[in-house]
Chain A
Amino acid sequence: MTILSIDGLSKTFDMHVLGDTQVVGLDDVSFDVQTGEFLAIVGESGSGKSSLLKCLYRTYEPNSGRVVYHGPTRDVDLASCPARTVIGLRRDVIGYTSQFLDEIPRVPAVDVVARPLVEQGHSRDDARETARDLLTALSVPRELWEAYPATFSGGERQRVNLAQAIAPRPAVLLLDEPTSALDPETRRAAIDLLSTYLDGETTVIGVFHDTNVVEAVADRVVVLDDGRLDRVVPVDEYDGEVVVE
């Protein structure tokens, strides 16, 4: 079953502060995403990987094209639906995480991870318990759970970030280089957690630089080149090319 249909998606930035320069982020990108699949987006720096994720999440407003989410009851075009529809879908259906944790300072790590669960209506105690389980699975040291992520190392912060993103088990999860700051062992733990905790129920679209990660987790690979779709291939036909960094 198709969960997302991306059709002719384009994004151009009008940089008024740079003398109205136009910067092309994405140019006429189309592909479908199947329910429960793990899609890796690869490409050189500046090829539009993050722009694509942000257009799917509507942090960037596409100039043209459609991103149709085929929900249980109706289809919604994420590229053009009202802001409030997007807010509702973000709470219940679509998760997003970037490389950088974006949280109020001075909130303990366990509460940062628990927050989306509380917002979905889970009790604070249940949410914190799930949060502790996820932090354990990602080997975040116990003594950090009640500490503030602002004081953490890059890798620790990234694990808190990832735990927060997967905690609510969204139907669609958008990950922007979620493992870039992790050492190989922790990275493996993170990848394992994505498959065990999400249990194939979640459709994941992720940007990854590491070919090993792509080969370990992805079902299919979307290759972007200079804002355009180069190809979409099953992972066993993916030769690792383009991932140059």
Chain B
Amino acid sequence: MSLLSADGVTRIYGSGCEACRDRTGDAAGTNQCPACGSVVACADVDLDLQPREVLGIVGESGSGKSSLAELLALEPNQDGHVHGSVEYANHPGNLLDVDYETRHALRNGHISLVHQHIRDGLDLDFSGGGNVAEKLLASGWRNYEDVRERVASLFEETEIPVERMDDPTHTYSGGMQRRVQIARALAINPEIVVLDEPTTGLDVSVQARVLDMFRRIQREEDVAAIVVSHDLGVVRLLADRTLVMRHGRVIESGLTDRVLEDPHHEYTQTLINSAI
């Protein structure tokens, strides 16, 4: 049984034309349509996520990973044309067509996104606890004591010092800010968490702690996850299966260790041979 499945998901920035899909992608060697200049951020993406599963998406900058992640996580974005469908087990219909209220309800109860850029996900002038509490308030929590208790337990779970809860988030280290984002994403007990570059900008020792913390929580709470990263090490440690993207297309997919140790596509072989 699929929890989330995508079929032909496409996002095109620009006017778009009939040639866009044919003249972009892996064989064309570009994601920009030579006829109309539109950028095909991702196209014809099919994927399928089951409960408790972790799916990795790797590729270089500009390969379409984040565009795809944002679509799957119902991130509001008015730019560009979107095609295809995303089906979610707990909601009928195409998630790409939902109205504002439904999107709000799903994002505050079912599907969470951990943004690549901390400033997209957090208000740094707010306290760390306030950033997490905001998500709870949006999903209908009202009692002040309950909210504080829940935030404190999320801080504990994500290994942020609880005594820093009321300090402004800009006073936190990068690793703590990332953990606040994860705490915020988990606050609503989502079915699916989408992590966009969860370790970017963190130093190596902090990366390991964030990954281990996320893996523990993901398994203990049976959350399914989509992990987007340009870092092959991150998907190797977290993902059961992995998709490789290039020029907006999925060019290879399979068991993570198979993709990394027996890559079939020329680009995947290059990617793996270039890893430090």
Contact = CB atoms under 8 A, between A and B. Distances in A.
Bound together: yes
Given A83-B241, A104-B237, A15 B261 contact: no
B108 to A, nearest CB: 30
B212 A59 contact: no
Interface string A41-79: 000000000000010001111000000000000000000
Contact of A58 (B50, B209, B215, B258): B258
B254 A61 contact: yes
B60 to A, nearest CB: 16
B261 A54 contact: yes
Contact of B269 (A15, A84, A87): A15
Contacts of B53: 84
Contacts of A17: 266, 269-270, 273
Nearest to A150: B208
A201 to B, nearest CB: 26
Contact of A87 (B215, B240, B264): B240
| Residue from B257, B266, B270 having most chain A Cβ neighbours under 10 A | B257
Nearest to A91: B240
Given A87-B240, A104-B212, A59 B262 contact: yes
Contact of A104 (B215, B255, B269): B215
A142 interface: no
B258 A61 contact: yes
B173 interface: no
Contacts, number: 54
Interface residues of B, number: 25
Interface in A8-44: 13-17
A60 B258 contact: yes
Contact of B258 (A59, A105, A106): A59
B205 A106 contact: yes
A119 B219 contact: yes
Interface in B236-276: 236-237, 240-241, 254-255, 257-258, 261-262, 264-266, 269-270, 273
A16 B241 contact: no
Nearest to A14: B264
Contacts of B264: 14, 61
B202 interface: no
B211 interface: yes
Contacts of B266: 16-17
Contact of B261 (A60, A84, A119): A60
Nearest to B274: A17
A244 interface: no
A13 B205 contact: no
Nearest to B214: A104
A207 interface: no
A107 interface: yes
B99 to A, nearest CB: 33
B263 to A, nearest CB: 9
Contacts of B241: 83-84, 87
Interface of A: 13-17, 54, 58-61, 83-84, 86-87, 102, 104-107, 118-119
Given A13-B262, A86-B255, A106-B208, 13 more contacts: A16-B265, A16-B269, A16-B270, A17-B270, A54-B262, A60-B261, A83-B254, A83-B255, A84-B241, A87-B240, A102-B236, A106-B205, A106-B209
Interface of B: 50, 53, 205, 208-209, 211-212, 215, 219, 236-237, 240-241, 254-255, 257-258, 261-262, 264-266, 269-270, 273
